[in-house]
Amino acid sequence: MGLSPVLYCMPLRAENRSQFNKIKLKKHRYLIALIITLMVAGVVILVTISVVQNKSLPKKLKYGIVLDAGSSHTALYIYSWPAEKLNDTGIVTEVDSCKVKGPGISSYWNDIKQAGLSLKMCLEKAKERIPEKQQHVTPVYLGATAGMRLLRLQDQFLAEKLMNSVEEFIKTYPFNFQGVKIITGQEEGVFGWITVNYLKENIGKDNVGGNPETLGALDLGGASTQITFVPDGKIESEESALHIRLYGKSYNIYTHSYLCYGKDQALKLLLEKLNASDDGTVLNPCFNKGYTRTINVTAFFDSPCTSIQHSTTHQIVTVIGTGSPDQCSHDIRSIFNFSVCTWSSCSFDGVYQPKVHGKFGAFSAYYFVMDFFNLTNEKPYDLSTVKHTVMEFCSKPWGEVRNSFSINEKYLSENCFAGQYILSLLQNGYNFTSSNWETINFLRKIKGTSAGWTLGYMMNLTNMIPAEPPYTKPLTNASYLTAVIIISIFLFFLLVTGFLIFRKKVFKTQNKP
């Protein structure tokens, strides 16, 4: 009978057991080190993805330049707007501005080359302000207003020659030149309306219940003045009616521009009415008493507004201020014609105008004159206060006025006339009364941007500039969420694995004989 086999296991020697434990410990260390490395890498990746995904995206901005070539001066405005446009209209804001030294470009008719050179300082400023890499795609426009409209009436060939000279000079700069243009009075009026309403947020925002109440625009320059508003009713004259659509909404606007009724040309109209005496003196009740000014008749009245009508035997005349506010107001009314009107209602010179409706923003020379009289607070002053302030100033002798103010003598001397002219234009011309005078807010800037036609002009022109896609995040929201979940699960798995290995090692250590 055979013997059953007996399984026999020989015990490991002490040295072999020690070597085996060392190998297992080494493997555990490598495994733990690998787990820690993977966990650190996972955390770094997770943090990196989160930072990159949630980082604020840079704004894609475009720039544009508008030169306002007015009758008395030129100003340059730099605008910017997001490359990705909203509702097909660029969201435009003013980022900088520059006033050109010297008179308006129309004054350089006898030195055409100088017209372009006068813009150099402001164009250089624009080069510094706009990033170099964007200059070649930055459009630049020049809009000339009433001063050039008058010069074109006098000599169309000369006006075109002057504009061409200015164009050639602007082309020497690295911008995307878009042309120079003599804008119409209607354009000047409606672009001013767009500007003030855009800045007041009456247009460009979603408003429940239809279009919000808009702000009328009153613009007073050196050679022309404009009134633009949405009337309460039908507009009778097609010439003064304009239908525009902005941000998906329609507006029926009344607008009219009066050439020759800007502040500077109106003064010429007044002086023309005041005939010179035999000794060549002109008594002007709208200049402070004691003020005198010598003018060259040919140069001063060289304008389509006066040159045809004016006649005098004197080449040089001396204007003497008499400081008579009541007579000044009477004489200013004489430059308007209120005797003719073939419509249901008119302003002056037979021009149709519906009844003024709503609130108004008055800017340009309106603001600067009223600011001189400290009448531009947020809460409008009543008409009687404005009248009293202007007349009190006009009654002061020139010596007292000159000693009280440290501003340019020419502008200081004309402030009595300017104040009286604004009162007459708004009351007698546009039919504002004491009951609605306080609907007029004299303003220069709205939210840091200048009130005037140039912003509205820029907004209109940006519609012709293609929109660009905005910067996008590296991952879509779904992809970002998926990546975070996967990495988090991976980290959790590593953490559990590491914990189990460590726990097993501790357990064996504690139960080691």
What was the pLDDT predicted at 234? 93
Into how many domains does the chain fold? 2
- Do 148 and 206 reside in the same domain of the chain? no
**Do 339 and 247 belong to one domain?**
yes
Do 351 and 437 fall into the same domain?
Answer: yes
Q: What is the mean pLDDT of residues 423-437?
A: 97
Which residues are registered as beta bridge partners of 61? 82
Q: Last residue of a domain, which of 394, 428, 448?
A: 448
pLDDT range class, residue 38, cuts 50, 70, 90: confident
27 in any annotated domain: no
User: Is pLDDT of 338 > 90?
Assistant: yes
Q: What is the pLDDT of residue 511?
A: 54
Quote the mean pLDDT of the chain. Answer: 85
Any domain includes 246: yes
Helix (H) or strand (E) holding 176: strand 176-182
Residue finishing a domain among 138, 162, 183: 183
Shared-domain flag, residues 94 and 202:
no
Residues 173, 189 within the same domain? no
CA-CA-CA-CA dihedral for 282, 287, 290, 296, to nearest 10: -40
Same domain, yes or no: 217 and 279: yes
Same domain, 212 and 131: no
Answer yes or no: do 97 and 210 share one domain. Answer: no
Residue 3 belongs to a domain? no
pTM of the predicted model as reported, rounded to 2 decimal places: 0.79
Q: What is the pLDDT of residue 20?
A: 54
Domain of 286, in residue numbers: 185-448
Q: 324 versus 213: which is more confidently predicted?
A: 324
pLDDT digits (tens, 9 = 90+) for 68-89: 999 989 999 999 887 766 555 5
- Whether 453 contacts 363, CB under 8 Å: no
Q: Is residue 37 part of a domain?
A: no
The one-letter amino acid at 327: Q
Sign of the alpha-carbon dihedral angle for 225, 230, 236, 241: positive
Last residue of a domain, one of 398, 424, 448: 448
Distances (CA, A) of 421 to 329, 363, 418, 436: 8, 15, 5, 18
Are 168 and 305 in the same domain?
A: no
Per-residue model confidence as pLDDT tens digits over 195-225: 999 889 888 765 555 567 899 999 999 999 9
Is 505 contained in some domain?
Answer: no
**pLDDT tens-digit series, residues 16-33:** 555 655 565 566 666 777
Amino acid at position 40, single letter: V
Q: Say which CATH number the domain at 249 has.
A: 3.30.420.150
Q: Are 325 and 380 part of one and the same domain?
A: yes
Residue 239 lies in a domain: yes
Residue-level pLDDT at 476: 67
What mean pLDDT comes out for the span 277-291?
Answer: 93
C-alpha to C-alpha distance for 194 and 453, rounded to whole angstroms: 8
Q: How far apart are CA 114 and CA 2, in angstroms?
A: 131
Domain check: are 276 and 228 in the same one? yes
Flag whether 340 is in a domain: yes
378-401 per-position pLDDT tens digit: 788 999 999 999 999 999 999 999
Q: Which residues are catalytic?
A: 188
Which segments within 221-370 are labelled E, that is strand? 224-229, 241-246, 249-259, 281-284, 292-296, 316-321, 360-364
374 belongs to a structural domain = yes
Asked if pLDDT for residue 6 goes beyond 50, the answer is no
**Among 389, 416, 419, CA closest to 290:** 416
> In the prediction, which pLDDT does 195 show?
93
